[in-house]
Structure 1
Amino acid sequence: MDPYNAGALSLLPPIIAITLALWTKEVFSSLMIGILSGSLIYTVGMGQDFVIVRTIETAFAVMVKKVDFNIIIFCTLLGSLVYVISLAGGTRAYGKWATRRIKGKTSALLSTSALGAFIFIDDYFNCLTVGTVMRPVTDSYKISRAKLAYIIDATAAPICIIAPISSWAAAVGSNLKSTGAFESDLAAFVATIPWNFYALLSIIMVVLISACNFDFGPMRKAELRAQAGDVGESDKKDDEHRQPEASMRGHVLDMLIPIAALIVFAIMALLFNGGYWGSDPAYHTLAAAFGNCTAAPALAIASFAALLVAFLQFVPRGVLSLKAFMDGCMQGMKAMMPANTILVLAWAISGVCRDLLQTPVFVKSLVEADGGLTGGLLPAVIFILACFLSFSTGTAWGTFGILIPIVVPVAQVIDPNGSLVLISLSATLAGSVFGDHCSPISDTTILSSAGAACTHIEHVSTQMPYACVVAVSSLVGYIVAGFSQSLPVSFGAGLVVMVLTLLYFRSRVRSREAAA
């Protein structure tokens, strides 16, 4: 299908989908309406006949084209793995074991954050694994599923974007290579890490929220409900899928060994995929292999291998019969169907905007039209554009893929000998992470809610105030950075704004609760 430059109309489909999702609390129909609206704009713009039929045909053609079956397989098999681990009693045994060692709610929250930071290779892998491992622990301390989903989400993309060895580093490096502005793509990526204010402040926010046991906005209400015994709505709706009748013979190793196998096989598959054991010596180092890998097929292989390990661990010992194991696999696949469906719809609406309606062309025209932009404001403007684009399309990779080739030349013209290029590049990556972190149509947002067994819209609404506080604080940091080009001063400014904002909300929450 030939693209159609829809201009500002290219932003309409995600705006419709996001508005409807937040209004109706129903994400499936909202995404579908967004996709159909974009297809309608394309059909009318291209002057096609049989408008209704062509609109539907175009929507499903894009959907089929954009589906990443490796990710679908990974999520589906991981759902099977999670279910059979629970069926074997591994989740129950681990929950009891961890509860004896993790003393208190604060320790549970900080342990969840630490595990999220530890799994930095890929955000998809992070989202589902951390939720699987820590959900029994957080449930035992009456931590809401919304809070768990927020910690998972805030330690997924923000961690991956500052990890030199990750699938994200490879994606950024491929875009940097296309600019020809850097001698070493990896060195340029590493140089952006201290200037990636949104990622760094998100991590600090998680630590502060966890250590101080403080919440505000919708998250506060979710936490109060959790203290009363209601950790999340999904418990009631999906109990037959989420909580199987567990074997009493399960041991803590019945959870730890399959999860450890998943991690080990993921690393090995990523290295194999990246050519570490291949014939080209250029990829015979860890950094080069990880930089050359493709995460999705590697994760699909890893999830299958981990499920095979679980089979060999459970069935020969008699913990599960062959029939019970296979039935558990099927139930786990069913449990992941909603998340997989949302992923497909999210990919489709991104494809409609990017491939058919030419959203990148429109954004590029906005940037190039502002030729008189003051150099000091460039990082802040780029950060705002990246936030808006990533939130609208739900993809960080697509956003920095659009903006990096535009931002680097513009920054070089404005400040050829200064550090503005690096700061602007960092602002691009930071703004891209914002949308990936909190957009309702972002795949990591979807997977975080799935991993935590939290209602998707509740996850979006509860974490949005936290993400916005970090985004505003980062914006202040980039405004200061554009003029001072000093890392300590600019990052310090953003950090101070974030801490003061949290203190303000804390005082308001205490005042309201005292008055009540």
Structure 2
Amino acid sequence: MKPVYIDKTIEDLSIQTTQTAKLWNNKKITSIIVTIAIFAAFFLLSMTHTGDEAWGWKSILPTLAVLVMAIVTRRPFESMMAGSAAGLIMMSPNNFITPFTDTISKVVGDETIVWVVLVCGLMGGFIRILEISSCLDGFTEWLKTKIKSRRQSTMATVILGAIVFIDDYLSCLAVSSSVKKLTDYYQVSREKIAYLIDSAAAPMCVIVPISTWAVFFSGLLENNGVAGKSQGMNLYVSSIPFMMYAWIALLIAFLVAAGIIGDVGPMKKAELRAKSGRPVPPDYEGEELINKSKAKRQLSMKAQLFNFFFPVALLILSTVYYDIDLLKGVIITFTVTTLLFYFQGLLSINEQIDALFEGFHSMLYPLSTVIGGFILKDINDSLGMTQYIIDSVTPYLSQATYPAIVFVVLALIVFGTASSWGVFVIAIPIVIPVAQHLDVHMPLVVGAILSASSFGSHACFFSDSSILAAQGSGCSPMSHAFSQFPYALIGAICAIIAFLMLGYAYA
């Protein structure tokens, strides 16, 4: 005879499933109604606008719509597409499909986007090969012999993230994929790993002048006449002590990893869940890069460590050799690693090529989200959002408060657009002449600009580094964003105070 409690359990499950289905249907209906209402509101806005009139405060609305929709739906890519469509409806209500497709074609065809897609896809394939060759498992087992506690595992994570400072993409993907088996063993949430990696990636790439960030910004300073020819790097280096947010964010990450700063808000819930044996957040729908080893023979621990450290070292050195070009570095490393594993008899060429495509596939959603951010930025540029915000605060500037205001304004713009580099192509020609007119200490101003870039890259839920840190760590972008934001906000507040103090000191 079947026990009564089994019938009761089945009945409860049936009721629960029915309720879940109803809630899901209600949520879909609500989302559709909200989306239609938003599009209708933007259409009405377009009707009140004349052709030659500046958009003014209305230019902020598409980005605000994206933020609200992402928080409600927890789907960053879909939210950015909806916000981008809303912005285009404002500008072209009668035919927004043509400009929408034109914008997508323009963004996808941009050489920066092509570079990002190739780098991230190849990095995904490279990490996949390291996994199926079993050398990542070997690295994890070796770490277990050195690291004996939960706290040591989090400290090792942030230290490794800080060491790999050449490029934030490299740090976010390679380091997170290397340590998450170890941190799973010590029941550390994936959200915390994503936060620690993200907090080490962007700040360290700003602080250390041997990185893609330093190369880009020093060139930007020279192109805008802020520094003389070949003097951009000197100005960049002199501004490093004034990159307050980067220093503070890195310090907070170390304090969190050491347990000196406790878990707050969503991070506290994530850590409680991980300690109960569930390190992966329930809303993570992506694909894990990690899978069962396909190696044809078992290597010794030393051989596995060599197969891990040699490709990673080659990736870093080749990237540096080619003037901090991660694409060239990862192509060379992928080629050499494929031949190394083939001649060792570990994996066939076909298996490694299949792994490359598997890695590319696992990066599709993160890459689509990054592309969505570029599309949103292009629409914001057409609306004149950056120019409007900067013009709005210009009357309130003074020599002492200028660095703090520059940090706040540009940090908000980068946070809203996810473009930690592209925004400054527009902003620097505006910000720097005002700083020169007010006679503000230039390294301090550059430090504030780079701090704003670092904060935006760190805190924005759809920035490239945040998306990749979440993907590499194995958690959803929104889980990472919500759990990280309190710490980023603390860092931003401390940075504002520091810039105010420095501004009055150098006034």
TM-score by length of 1: 0.81
| Alignment partner, residue 358 of structure 1 | 384
- The answer to whether residue 491 in structure 2 is matched with residue 474 in structure 1 is no
Alpha-carbon offset, residue 3 of structure 1: 12
The answer (yes or no) to whether the contact 2:390–2:409 under 8 Å persists in 1 is no
- 411, 417, 435: which one pairs with 1:387? 411
Moved more, 110-119 or 240-249: 240-249
Q: Give the AA of the match of 1:217.
A: G
Alpha-carbon offset, residue 30 of structure 1: 0.6
Q: Deviations over 1:334-370 (max 9, x none)?
A: 211111111211221122222x2233332342244x1
The answer (yes or no) to whether the contact 2:284–2:474 under 8 Å persists in 1 is no
Assess, with a 3 A threshold, how the Cα gap between structure 1 residues 52 and 389 changes in structure 2: closer, same or farther: closer
Matches of residues 402-441 of structure 1 in structure 2 within 5 Å? Answer: 402-414=426-438, 416=439, 420-441=441-462
Inter-partner Cα distance in structure 2 for 1:445 and 1:24: 18
Assess, with a 3 A threshold, how the Cα gap between structure 1 residues 333 and 264 changes in structure 2: closer, same or farther: same
| Alignment partner, residue 149 of structure 1 | 194
Alpha-carbon offset, residue 235 of structure 1: 9.8
Alpha-carbon offset, residue 302 of structure 1: 2.1
The answer (yes or no) to whether the contact 2:136–2:308 under 8 Å persists in 1 is no
- 187, 190, 200: which one pairs with 2:234? 187
- 120, 123, 130: which one pairs with 1:85? 130
Identity of aligned pairs, percent? 27
| Alignment partner, residue 280 of structure 1 | none
- 240, 260, 264: which one pairs with 2:314? 264
Matches of residues 454-473 of structure 1 in structure 2 within 5 Å? Answer: 454-473=475-494
Inter-partner Cα distance in structure 2 for 1:3 and 1:261: 56
Query: What is the Cα-based RMSD across aligned positions, in Å?
Result: 2.6
- The answer to whether residue 95 in structure 2 is matched with residue 71 in structure 1 is no
The answer (yes or no) to whether the contact 2:191–2:267 under 8 Å persists in 1 is yes
Q: Give the AA of the match of 2:161.
A: G
What are structure 1's unaligned runs of at least 5 residues? Answer: 45-49, 275-294, 487-516
| Alignment partner, residue 291 of structure 2 | 243
Assess, with a 3 A threshold, how the Cα gap between structure 1 residues 425 and 85 changes in structure 2: closer, same or farther: closer
Inter-partner Cα distance in structure 2 for 1:305 and 1:87: 19
Inter-partner Cα distance in structure 1 for 2:424 and 2:78: 28
TM-score by length of 2: 0.82
Assess, with a 3 A threshold, how the Cα gap between structure 1 residues 391 and 306 changes in structure 2: closer, same or farther: same
Alpha-carbon offset, residue 421 of structure 1: 3.1
Q: Deviations over 1:41-72 (max 9, x none)?
A: 2324xxxxx51433433442343344611221
- 211, 214, 221: which one pairs with 1:176? 221
Q: Give the AA of the match of 1:43.
A: S
| Alignment partner, residue 263 of structure 2 | 215
| Alignment partner, residue 25 of structure 2 | none
Inter-partner Cα distance in structure 2 for 1:127 and 1:240: 15
The answer (yes or no) to whether the contact 1:63–1:345 under 8 Å persists in 2 is no
- The answer to whether residue 471 in structure 2 is matched with residue 450 in structure 1 is yes
Q: Give the AA of the match of 2:195.
A: Y
Alpha-carbon offset, residue 241 of structure 1: 5.2
The answer (yes or no) to whether the contact 2:157–2:175 under 8 Å persists in 1 is yes
3-state SS of 1:108 partner: helix
Q: Give the AA of the match of 1:373.
A: L
The answer (yes or no) to whether the contact 2:129–2:356 under 8 Å persists in 1 is yes
Inter-partner Cα distance in structure 2 for 1:13 and 1:59: 15
- The answer to whether residue 153 in structure 2 is matched with residue 108 in structure 1 is yes
Q: Give the AA of the match of 2:216.
A: A
What are structure 2's unaligned runs of at least 5 residues? Answer: 1-50
Structure exhibiting the larger radius of gyration computed from Cα positions: 2
Q: Give the AA of the match of 2:217.
A: V
Assess, with a 3 A threshold, how the Cα gap between structure 1 residues 3 and 204 changes in structure 2: closer, same or farther: farther
Q: Give the AA of the match of 1:362.
A: Y
- The answer to whether residue 46 in structure 2 is matched with residue 19 in structure 1 is no
Assess, with a 3 A threshold, how the Cα gap between structure 1 residues 375 and 326 changes in structure 2: closer, same or farther: closer
The answer (yes or no) to whether the contact 2:287–2:362 under 8 Å persists in 1 is no
Assess, with a 3 A threshold, how the Cα gap between structure 1 residues 115 and 40 changes in structure 2: closer, same or farther: same
